[in-house]
């Protein structure tokens, strides 16, 4: 199974403002993310990101896909979405694999990204580079310490001032 990380970030590597706001993410980036989620049939998110999605009502286009929330504290989710909980990145991948899906889509946030990257579980990354600089914010993988080499698979201009980078992680 191929594991893909998708993130929209500022040109200097922040995925959110310090207060969790992501208002710099363009409509084109949101659409591209939803398209990829529809293709993979799933997203894997950290518990904080899921809580923020629920609070913001950011569930458009995710009604018919598996949403796997990684958390040490699973809970019941009383809504019509296909939500399940996993207690680790590997068990989230196992859940998706058991459902016969060929790709897994990791969709943040920073702590979850760091877990997947540090465990060497990501095969490809899409990065939407928003035309924004922030003095401070939440970095793509928090402050975790690792280094990865990337192979460029493609670039695409997805809106007037915005490029999407597509990388493979060299293993
Ligand atoms: N720009 C973008 O594309 C984008 C996308 C997504 C999110 N974001 C932003 O990212 C920020 C959230 O990131 P975050 O780092 O604060 O939170 P997060 O990664 O969304 O969630 C962290 C939580 O996920 C669970 N978790 C993560 N790794 C785990 C592991 N290895 N094993 C078990 N549980 C694990 C834990 O939940 P428990 O505490 O329940 O155990 C942890 O507290 C928000 O500001 C959001 O807006 C941006």
Q: SS3 for 108-131, per residue? A: CCHHHHHHHHHCCCCCEEEEEEEC
Q: Which residues pair with 151 in a beta bridge?
A: 168
Per residue in 60-110, pLDDT (tens digit) is 778 889 999 999 998 877 666 799 999 999 999 999 999 999 999 999 999
Pairwise CA distance, residues 23 & 3, whole Å: 26
DSSP code at position 62? -
55 HSE (CA, 13 A, CB side): 8
Q: Please determine, for residue 115, whether its predicted confidence score (pLDDT) is greater than 80.
A: yes
Give the DSSP H/E element, type plus range, for residue 31. helix 27-40
Per residue in 22-62, pLDDT (tens digit) is 999 999 999 999 999 999 999 999 999 999 998 888 787 78
**pLDDT at position 80:** 66
pTM of the model: 0.97
**pLDDT at position 8:** 98
Residue of 70, 117, 137 with the most ligand 1 atoms within 8 Å of its CB, for mutation: 70
Longest dimension (CA), the chain: 43
16 C-alpha to center of ligand 1: Å? 12
**pLDDT at position 79:** 67
116 HSE (CA, 13 A, CB side): 31
Helix/strand/coil for 81: coil
Regarding the beta carbon of 7 and ligand 1, being less than 6 Å apart is answered yes
47 C-alpha to center of ligand 1: Å? 6
Regarding the beta carbon of 106 and ligand 1, being less than 6 Å apart is answered no
């Amino acid at each position: 199974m191929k594991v893909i990380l998708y993130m929209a970030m500022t040109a200097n590597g922040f995925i959110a403002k310090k207060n969790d706001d992501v208002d710099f993410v363009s409509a084109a980036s949101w659409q591209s993310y939803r398209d990829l989620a529809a293709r993979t049939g799933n997203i894997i998110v950290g518990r904080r990101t899921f809580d923020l999605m629920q609070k913001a009502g950011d569930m458009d286009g995710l009604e018919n896909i598996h949403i796997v929330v990684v958390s040490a504290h699973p809970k019941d989710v009383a809504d019509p979405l296909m939500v399940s909980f996993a207690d680790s990145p590997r068990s989230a991948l196992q859940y998706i694999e058991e459902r016969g899906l060929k790709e897994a889509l990791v969709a943040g946030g920073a702590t979850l990204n760091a877990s997947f990257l540090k465990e060497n579980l990501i095969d490809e990354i899409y990065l939407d580079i928003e035309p924004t600089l922030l003095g401070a914010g939440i970095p793509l993988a928090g402050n975790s310490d690792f280094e990865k080499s990337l192979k460029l698979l493609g670039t695409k201009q997805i809106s007037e001032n915005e490029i999407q980078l597509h990388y493979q992680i060299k293993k």
